[in-house]
Amino acid sequence: QGIFVLGLPYALLYSGYSGLFLIILAAALCCYTGKILIACLYEENEDGQLIRVRDTYEDIANACCKRLSPRLGGIVVNVTQVTELIMTCILYLVVSGNLLSHSFPYVPMSEKTWSVIAFVTLLPCVFIKTLKIVSKLSQLCSLVHFIIILVVMTYCLTQTHQWSWAKFRLSIEFEDFLVSVGVIIFSYTSQIFLPTLEGNMKNPGEFRCMLNWTHFFACVLKTTFALTAFLTWGEETKEVITDNLPSFLQTLVNFCLLTKALLSYPLPFFSATEIVYACISRGNHSNYRSPLSALGVRGSFLLLTLLMAMFIPHFALLMGLTGSVTGAAMTFLLPSLFHLKLKWKKLSFLEKCADISVFILGFLCSLAGIVCSIKGLLAVFG
């Protein structure tokens, strides 16, 4: 459950009833692509038993492209992954600066200065070596997130007297609808982390069950949250729903959002530095043979995210453009393509149709998102 969830009521504003259907459909599709991605890590041995022969997204890509070039697929996947993870980390820094400046409007400091202060609190990230530490921070992040959801929904439930289904739009604008599609789909994306997560599970055999339940509960929570918030504010719904709250609640929620943004940073940070260090040390990323080298990679990455957060203009539009390319590729395009390539002979007709349908849908979403983002950038630059 990411910060994207707070934009779901706004997505309903522009997608109407179809938005509710999209929240359910996106959960099913992302759950499916997660499963087929992990299936690509395994091959059957002579006894018909599944053996994990690959460890990462990169290994899957290399296996698919080995006839063309042994390392081409891995390079493409790594560049795509690191780009998306870097942009995610930068977004958390930008959001932190924005929240701090709104929480202390009487302090004469710019958002960029507040981002630097937030960055200082993230310096201990250079010492993160294992996923176990990241998981504990993510657990705290989830707790803070549920507090935010609880505060917003509790307030909404006190306003049930003004709820009306008439607030839902029956006619929708195509471009506005595409924005809603992007917000809804990318609130579920987790494919980048799945190979590492499955490999670190005590019982990997429970992965599919875990994925089913997490996506089911995510879908229920997202639908309930988006619906109650939209029914409360209707046409007044803002891009980030917490901006609709009364001022006395807004301050509390802003601090929670700041905590969440800072606690969310370590997961994409750890994943990106693992990928970069794996490339540098030729696959020895699970065992840092040179602590100084590992520290250098993590420190450089941390500094890079700050510099980009400080100096990239129109970051939100660039984030949308990057997300449309990398997000759709990592979530829909590549998992379905790799699954078809590696498992073609063993797939049933319906499974092949499902993979091809997901690929086409992902391509269309990506293309539409790119067009909207470029139009936005052209409008900004005149």
Q: What is the per-residue pLDDT across 223-279, written as a single tens digit (0 to 9) for each?
A: 999 999 999 998 888 877 888 889 888 888 888 989 998 998 998 898 888 888 877
Bridge-partner residues for 51, per DSSP?
Answer: 43
- The sign one gets for the Cα dihedral 297, 303, 304, 306 is positive
Q: Is the pLDDT of residue 360 over 90?
A: yes
Q: Give dist(CA 356, CA 363) in Å, integer.
A: 11
Residue range 361-377, pLDDT digits in tens: 888 888 877 787 777 77
- The sign one gets for the Cα dihedral 47, 50, 51, 57 is positive
Q: Is the pLDDT of residue 318 over 70?
A: no
Better-predicted residue by pLDDT, 175 or 51: 51
Look at residue 121 in the predicted model and tell me its pLDDT: 92
Task: Calculate the alpha carbon distances from 331 to 46, 89, 191, 301, 363 in Å.
Answer: 32, 18, 6, 24, 11
Q: Give dist(CA 197, CA 66) in Å, integer.
A: 25
Identify the CA nearest to 39 among candidates 26, 54, 21, 18. Answer: 54
Confidence grade of residue 166 (pLDDT, cut at 50, 70, 90) = confident
Radius of gyration, CA atoms only, the chain? 21
In the chain, the number of structural domains is 1
Residue range 30-66, pLDDT digits in tens: 999 999 999 999 998 888 788 999 988 888 999 998 8
- CATH number for the domain including 255? 1.20.1740.10
Q: Mean per-residue pLDDT for 323-351? A: 88
DSSP string, 260-276: HHHHHTHHHHHHHHHHH
Residue range 76-106, pLDDT digits in tens: 888 888 888 888 888 888 888 888 887 788 8
Residue range 111-154, pLDDT digits in tens: 888 889 999 999 998 888 888 888 888 889 889 988 998 999 99
Q: Give dist(CA 97, CA 109) in Å, integer.
A: 10
Look at residue 184 in the predicted model and tell me its pLDDT: 83
Name the residue range of residue 328's domain: 2-381
H-only helix segments in the chain: 8-15, 17-39, 57-64, 72-103, 111-121, 131-157, 174-185, 194-199, 207-233, 247-264, 266-280, 291-311, 315-322, 328, 334-343, 349-380
Q: Mean per-residue pLDDT for 340-345? A: 92
**Among 70-79, 116-125, 310-319, 348-357, which stretch is predicted with the lowest mean pLDDT?**
310-319
Residue range 193-206, pLDDT digits in tens: 898 889 888 899 99
Confidence grade of residue 288 (pLDDT, cut at 50, 70, 90) = very low
